[in-house]
Amino acid sequence: MKKIFYVITIFVLGAFEVSAQQESQYTQYMYNTMTINPGYTGTRGLPSIFGLYRTQWVGLDGAPKTANFSIEAPISSNGQGLGLSVISDKIGPSQETTLTASYAYPIQLSADVHLSLGISASGNFMQIDYNKLNVERPEDHFLSGNLTKNSPNFGAGIYFHSSKWYAGLSVPMILETKFYDDVKTSVASQRMHFYAMGGYVFDLNDNLKFKPAAMVKMVSGAPLAVDLSANFLISEKLTLGAAYRWDAAVSAMAGFQVTSGLNVGYAYDYDTQKIGNYNSGSHEIFLRFDLFSGTKYRLVTPRFF
């Protein structure tokens, strides 16, 4: 297991140095859109609280674990939105916490089509615990103790939506940040991630809806990432679906509308790359609370996006 931990550690630190994809990865991104695109903030039309936990590559020491908590709400009669999210990522010896505030301004383009322009401001707090590494030369003081670095950032997004479809473009982190140690050597770097997403809801009959969706993620120094998904909503209660992350993983998803204000979902990923031979997959669960009971907000049927 120590060898596996060492391999994961080298992979993580190497990924930082070559500017690979670094932002949190989600299979159920369609329920967590504000984290990716600030333009989504407040577009559901009612206050919502969202929580997600993801554990990746189960069985490998030091594998990624992500916790996400967010709250969003419309704050004006014309639908301006305000949101706050906290993301915690643990990978090997490193831990990152990102606190983000988001704001969106809506523009009505037609009776059923809206455009929402969003911005966000964030603070990133990174810590690397070198004591968790299997150091070949313990006397090397550069690989002992902790490295703690903080950095600000901001993002922007544009989000189009109607009652049947949505599409968006975003850059959650615009500043390209490099972290340095005490001798001014770069130990980690973060580059801009560009996201494009879209989805459409088909009413197959009175009790069945079908929603295909896609998300494309682009970042310099890493392959293009493409997520394709298909979900069925049955009787406004049960959601069943599948997803495919291009040349990386296949996923099964399920969700249930427990009450009019509570939705729970689960996803399982199976890696199609070689690393899948050394782990038992990835698990992701989320809870979403819609806070509209006894208020001015009303939701006729559960939102499918």
Q: What is the pLDDT along the chain (305 residues), one digit of tens a residue?
A: 443 444 444 344 443 333 344 678 899 998 989 999 999 999 988 999 999 999 999 988 888 999 999 999 999 988 899 999 999 999 988 899 999 999 999 999 999 999 999 999 999 998 888 777 777 776 666 666 677 888 899 999 999 999 899 999 999 999 887 665 555 555 566 778 899 999 999 999 999 999 999 999 998 777 889 999 999 999 999 999 999 999 889 999 999 999 988 999 999 999 998 888 889 999 999 999 998 754 555 544 456 77
**Distance (Å, whole) CA 118 – CA 93:** 34
Tokens 């890493």 -> residue: 222
**Distance (Å, whole) CA 270 – CA 282:** 7
Stated pTM of the model: 0.84
Task: Evaluate whether 22 touches 12 at the Cβ level (below 8 Å).
Answer: no
| pLDDT for the residue 9 | 42
Homologous superfamily of domain range 1-290: monomeric porin ompg (2.40.160.40)
**Distance (Å, whole) CA 80 – CA 106:** 6
**CB proximity list for 223: less than 8 A, separation 6 or greater:** 247
E strand intervals along the chain: 48-55, 65-74, 81-91, 94-108, 114-129, 146-161, 165-171, 177-180, 186-190, 193-200, 202-205, 208-219, 225-234, 238-245, 249-259, 262-271, 282-290
Q: Which residues pair with 150 in a beta bridge?
A: 125
Angle 199-156-301 from CA coordinates, rounded to 5° = 35
